């Protein structure tokens, strides 16, 4: 598990619920480093994003213990124990702690790597993280050259933790981030023999494919997942929260077990709602969506 943060010279990270400074080069570094990652954040950090919306192209996991809270596109975990239970099948290297202050402090001992953007100025912060230079287990692995943005100098520093605490990741669901990449279209075979049940399952897959975690997953559902014998991946699939191209193939095989017949249909993200709402036969769908 890794941590990524931008700090001022006092290890301040935020003020009045917002960042101290937004450096475009640092934003780019954040986007590239966390591409296709599983992000862990506190509820205040989610609320600090534009419109309180999760970051696209990534799995967003949010810590919040208010009963019944859910946020579209996110998984809510009610405690660190619940978070670790939910993450148990993931790959440690895919998981990034992205703030804010309270979450960095709780998860720092479990991180093996920290990507720190050091900004050489005092932002008069009200939220801080511990000074890694003062912690014996943390040491600098690399540092970029000093850069400058609007008169403020900054550099990218990578720290390594020599004794991280274990989360117990198994890595069994190591492709979890692949469900969250941005998708433009899906192609699949629409069988000749169809039923309402097939169409319902197909529509649920299309929704989950283009809009993973639609409606959000509450911490009560996370608890249900942890208490079941299912992996997070299997649980989220069963709930219609995530889908992959392989799930469309499996659905075809389920309804056309002899693997014969059907039309290839291509559904774009823009036309997904139109496809879901259409009540046409296979020929007509193939004509409209091929």
Ligand X SMILES: NC(=O)c1ccc[n+]([C@@H]2O[C@H](COP(=O)([O-])OP(=O)(O)OC[C@H]3O[C@@H](n4cnc5c(N)ncnc54)[C@H](OP(=O)(O)O)[C@@H]3O)[C@@H](O)[C@H]2O)c1
**Of the candidate residues 1, 23, 97, 103, the single one contacting ligand X (CB under 6 A):** 103
Span of 17-25, 85-93, 138-146, 202-210 interacting with ligand X by CB under 6 A: 17-25
**Is residue 40 part of the contact set for ligand X (CB under 6 A)?**
no
> Per-residue x/- mask for ligand X, residues 113 to 152, rule CB under 6 A?
--------------x-------------------------
Q: Name the residue nearer to ligand X (CB basis): 82 or 92.
A: 82
**Is residue 43 part of the contact set for ligand X (CB under 6 A)?**
yes
Distance CA 250, CA 35 (A): 28
**Is residue 262 part of the contact set for ligand X (CB under 6 A)?**
no
Element (H, E) at 76: strand 74-77
**Of the candidate residues 29, 70, 88, 102, the single one contacting ligand X (CB under 6 A):** 102
Q: CB of residue 250 vs ligand X: minimum separation in angstroms? A: 36
Give yes or no for a contact between 116 and 132, defined as CB atoms under 8 angstroms apart. yes
Alpha-carbon Rg of the chain, whole angstroms? 22
The number of C-alpha atoms within 13 Å of 77 and in the hemisphere containing its C-beta is 21
* Residue 121 per-residue DSSP state: S
**Of the candidate residues 9, 10, 17, 290, the single one contacting ligand X (CB under 6 A):** 17
Give yes or no for a contact between 194 and 177, defined as CB atoms under 8 angstroms apart. no
Span of 95-103, 162-170, 208-216, 276-284 interacting with ligand X by CB under 6 A: 95-103
> Which residues, at least 6 apart from 158, have a Cβ–Cβ distance to it below 8 Å?
113, 114, 115, 116, 140, 141, 142, 143
């Amino acid at each position: 598990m890794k941590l990524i943060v931008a700090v001022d010279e006092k290890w301040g990270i935020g003020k009045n619920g917002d960042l101290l400074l937004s450096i475009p080069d640092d934003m780019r570094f954040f986007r590239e480093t966390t591409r296709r990652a599983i992000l862990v954040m506190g509820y205040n950090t989610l609320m600090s994003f534009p419109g309180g919306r999760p970051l696209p192209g990534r799995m967003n996991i949010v810590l919040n213990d208010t009963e019944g809270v859910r946020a579209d596109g996110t998984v809510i975990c009610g405690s660190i124990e619940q978070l670790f239970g939910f993450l148990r099948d993931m790959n440690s290297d895919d998981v990034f702690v992205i703030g804010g202050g309270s979450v960095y402090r709780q998860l720092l001992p479990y991180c093996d790597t920290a990507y720190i953007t050091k900004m050489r100025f005092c932002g008069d912060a009200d939220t801080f993280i511990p000074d890694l230079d003062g912690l014996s287990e943390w040491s600098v692995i690399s540092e970029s050259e000093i850069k400058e943005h609007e008169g403020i100098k900054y550099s990218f520093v990578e720290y390594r933790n020599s004794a991280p605490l274990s989360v117990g990741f198994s890595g069994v669901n190591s492709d979890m981030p692949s469900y969250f990449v941005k998708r433009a279209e899906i192609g699949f075979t629409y069988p000749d023999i169809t039923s309402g049940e097939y169409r319902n399952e197909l529509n649920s897959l299309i929704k989950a494919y283009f809009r993973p975690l639609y409606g959000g997953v509450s911490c009560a559902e996370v608890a249900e997942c942890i208490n079941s014998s299912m992996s997070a991946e299997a649980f989220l699939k069963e709930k219609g929260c995530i889908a992959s191209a392989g799930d469309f193939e499996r659905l075809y095989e389920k309804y056309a077990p002899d693997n014969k017949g059907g039309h290839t249909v291509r559904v774009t993200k823009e036309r997904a709602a139109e496809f879901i709402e259409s009540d046409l036969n296979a020929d007509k769908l193939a004509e409209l969506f091929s």
